A and B are shown apart, each in its own frame.
Chain A
Amino acid sequence: MSKPNSGRPLVRKVKFLLDKDKEAADELKQKTRAEKARAEKLRNEEMLCAGGDADPRNIRNRRRPRRRHHHDDPTAEQQVVQQYEQQHAQLLDQDPDHQMLYNIFQKLEMAEQIALHRLARLLPDVCSAHWRSTCRKLDFRVLTEELPEPNQRNYLLGQMAEHYRYVYFVAHRLQENLNALESAGVKSLNSVQRVELLLLEGEETLPLERIQETPLTADTEAGGDAKPKGMAQWPLHALPKLMRNVKRMKAQCDVQVHFIEHFAQLELLILYGSISQTALTGIFERCQKLERLFLKFNDRNYNQNLSLKSIRKSTKLRDLSVPVALFNRQKEMLMELRQLHLLELTHCEKDVPLTIECMRFVLNQKADTIEQVQLDCKCFAKKHINWMQDVGLERCSRLRGLVLVNCIFGNREICQLTLPCVQKYIALIGCKDIKEYQVLDMVRRCSGLSELYLIDCPQLTWKMLQGLYRIRRGENISYPLTVVLGQCPTLRTDYQSMYSNYWCFKLAYLKIERIQGESRPIEDIQIFFYQNTPQDKNLKPALKKGSTQN
């Protein structure tokens, strides 16, 4: 490094021996200090360019002369340097940025601090890379907590705008959320594939009383009708332009405006709040890629005249979830949908006879194309124990899987219950009163059964296992019956205690396994149909993998 010429010192150094001359020496030093300061200032002003940060450059310049003269006594020059360093240090202390930086540094060990000193220039790139791998989710529920400073928030949003995959908006604060994005200069969130419009805890959609007061017509104009205080709808218009590539959407709020139909790539839509008729029609007509539609609102409260009339236009729709009442109104049309794979009926407990009637209707039309049925039988509990007979479930001739949750069997024989003949597996979850003889009857009825899932059925004992073995031995089938247990500790311990002596020889007929992982609880009624494509031989029930709601 070449040594810069900082100019001759303005004063020579003189040594003083006697005390009384010290004051004179101090005065002289002060004078020279002042002169030196002036000279330095002039020099530095020349070197300053417009708009630059003067301070660091000054210090840098002044450090250079210091290094050269360190052998001498503190000359006037050095004292000037010291003075400026002190001032600089004071300024530094008062700067709030440095305070915050100090707080951050306290979290690091010394070795890391050294590394940071050396590599500070890498921070922006590394940070962006880090965020891209960890912060794929933009969650407006926590954004203001995590980043209260707007400066930092805007920085993060600006950096990550193109990389976010999931966005969660707060429905009632959508306007604020969009403001935050705009002030960060974010024009588009192109990578977002999943968006959710969420309600925070305690927020409701429209209150029930209000709905019944205002008279509604089938084709209310979006945004223009006298809907009572709900969520502001107009910010929703901005969403499709913001996020063009959204594939999955979930909305807990009410939707009245036509915005969802502009999501051209939409494949999955879940609605927890109400939706206006025109919006729904628009979705059917425009969202050509829509494959799965879940309307999870309670139809009783909302829009009793909602019609799914354009559903035929949605050619790719495979999975559909509707409240029972809505289904009831449109059942003929829905049954004509050829490509329907999953039909889910929700809110069954509100009107159980209606549910049974609808199920019977479905079976009337399509009994032989039903592949799998999953039912939460809680709603059938007291008055409709004979639901299976009422529905006529035995008409399902090609049923591969049957899942019964919270089913009450009473003390009846299975043949009385008209259980269908299930080809692959039966799952009994939470059936608190099922007894061994009932299970055995089931297995006897469904010869060739491959898997039996028993979860939380407390009344079963090891005698059932014996019975199962005997049945299977009598049937002479090439594969064993796999019994998968969950929450049945006594059965399991019984099996394991006798395993080495007895059960391991019977593996050809009976195998016991344990359920793996947690499974989502099954609610409502799901009916799976065979597609026109060849059957999927590896159909597994919704227990091991996720269920229909993704």
Chain B
Amino acid sequence: MSNRGKKGKSRSKEFELNSSDSETDKYDTILVGNILKKLTIQEQAFITQKYKKVPKSLIALWKKIYSRLELGKMQWQLRGENLHCFLKLMRVHFQSVQFRCEQLQEELNILEKAGIEELPKVSSCVIYRGNNVEWEKNANFQQWPFHALPKLLINLRDLEIFSPIYACFIDQFKKLETLKIHEGISKSAVKAIMESDLPLQTLHFYSKRLHILRGISNRTRLENLMLNVNTFQKSREEIVQLPNLLDIQIYDTTDPEETLQALIFMVDRSNIIMKRFRLNCGFMFHSEGLKQLNLKKCSALHELHLVNCQFDYEDMAKLNLPVSQSYAAFFNCPDLTDIQLLDFYKSCPNLKQFILGSCPQLTGELLHNIFKVRCDENYKQAFTFMIDDCPILLNSYQENEKYWERKTSVLKVEFLRADVAPAHYVHFYFHKYNPES
């Protein structure tokens, strides 16, 4: 239990057994004495009375503070034998681990020297990269340390990697559910992942590279997907076959044509199961794109969220917008007018709430009109506006605040909460697959 070989002196045990023991004893005594000197008398008396509880208590404290292993930071506080001791004691308590990819080899060395072969409770791992600006030039840094990770982190569920991957090691994690890759990954590695039987639920690719995701339809547990347009286009047939897919985000919408094609395909194939649709229309030059999307087909849509959209003073009906949703959000739509919104409102029978952010052309007329229409029909719930940064509209509301306060049973105006933010990418949410329906 005690690490006797701490000072690194070579002891010939036959001759010096007694003296070396008493030396370490003396050293230990001095160590404890120094610790006691830091405490007040009350603390000294207390800790001495409860000395039996001290080890457990220490471990409990470390579990709280250091449930994440970050060797980089740990090395500032502990060195050498102490670090090994700490790692051994906490081996079964670490719940997540953070590596730095440039120092991965050193960090694995430390773990090995400490005699640690596994970290059984670690469920999440992040491999960071340093702030090295010349990242691309050093692209040939070692991949082979990665191979050691699956044996080390046997129960890993969540992996996030910030460095490019060439080695095929991810498929060795038997329990991996979440995989987030920030840089590139080689084809063979992707192939291995797709062909393995990892219970993947979340798969995010953050870079702009093209990844060939052949065989992704085998990943039947996949629920959450994030990829760029090119990757999507290459594997879109397989993607729509995924039975449990709930959430797909598509970004890097630089090529408008491609993007539009991808979106049209997606809407086409999955219109009935779409639950929420968030679209950043920045890539579209005009509202023609919206027409082509033909979102009308989405009959089960709950929420529509359009950002950076141009409406070109078109008739809303012609834009093929969906009609089934309860929530509609418009952010940063510079030419959205009262009339268009009113038309839109009239065409959507289930609508409960408008979320409007940075739509400068909207005025108080909108409120009055919608109020009139609403009053004619009998609705139980009030219609809610959540507004941010629509100056004319807000001014008008605030001038007539007293008036509107009396009408809150029909129409309510609130200020936008911070947690509702405009979408950055294209985000599809689907209804949960219910095999009985």
Contacts and interface: CB of A to CB of B under 8 A. Distances in A.
Interface of A: 19-20, 56, 70-71, 89, 92-93, 97-98, 100-102, 104-105, 107-127, 129-131, 135, 146-149, 151-153, 155-156
Contacts of A146: 40-42
B54 A101 contact: yes
B233 to A, nearest CB: 30
Given A152-B45, A152-B49, A107 B39 contact: yes
B50 A116 contact: no
B57 A101 contact: yes
Nearest to B77: A110
B139 interface: no
A124 B78 contact: no
B315 interface: no
Contacts of A121: 51
A124 B47 CA distance: 9
Interface residues of B, number: 50
B116 interface: no
B54 A120 contact: yes
A71 B154 CA distance: 8
For the residues of A in contact with B, the DSSP-based class is helix
30 contacts: A92-B60, A97-B57, A101-B53, A101-B54, A105-B61, A114-B78, A114-B85, A114-B86, A114-B89, A115-B82, A116-B54, A116-B58, A117-B54, A117-B85, A118-B3, A118-B85, A119-B28, A119-B31, A120-B55, A123-B32, A123-B36, A124-B48, A124-B51, A126-B29, A126-B32, A127-B47, A131-B44, A135-B41, A148-B42, A156-B45
A105 B34 CA distance: 14
Contacts of B137: none
A521 B352 CA distance: 92
A119 B42 contact: no
Interface in B44-76: 44-63
Contacts of A156: 41, 45
A160 B420 CA distance: 66
Contacts of B195: none
Could you say which of A107, A120, A124, A147 has the most chain B C-beta atoms within 10 Å of its C-beta?
A120
Nearest to A101: B57
B43 interface: yes
Interface in B382-435: 435
Given A117-B58, A127-B45, A152-B49, 18 more contacts: A56-B56, A93-B60, A97-B50, A97-B53, A98-B53, A100-B46, A101-B50, A102-B57, A105-B61, A107-B38, A119-B32, A120-B51, A129-B33, A130-B44, A146-B41, A146-B42, A147-B42, A155-B48
Contacts of B2: 118
Contacts of B79: 111
For the residues of B in contact with A, the DSSP-based class is helix
A328 B29 CA distance: 61
Top 4 closest pairs, chain A to chain B, by CB: A152-B45, A123-B51, A110-B77, A120-B54
B433 to A, nearest CB: 9
Nearest to A127: B48
Contacts of B56: 56, 92
Contacts of A135: 41
B3 A149 contact: no
Contacts of A130: 33, 36-37, 44
Nearest to B47: A104
Nearest to A111: B82
B145 interface: no
A107 B38 CA distance: 8
Given A101-B53, A122-B28, A146-B41, A108 B78 contact: no
A123 B53 contact: no
Contacts of A117: 54-55, 58-59, 85, 89
Interface in B1-47: 1-3, 28-29, 31-47
A102 B1 CA distance: 24
B120 A70 contact: yes
Contact of A110 (B49, B53, B59, B86): B86
B252 interface: no
A98 B57 contact: yes
B46 A123 contact: no
Contacts of A110: 77-78, 82, 86
Contact of A147 (B41, B77, B86, B118): B41
Interface in B345-383: none
B320 to A, nearest CB: 35
Contacts of B85: 114, 117-118
Nearest to A122: B32
Given A71-B154, A113-B58, A147 B43 contact: no
A114 B54 CA distance: 11
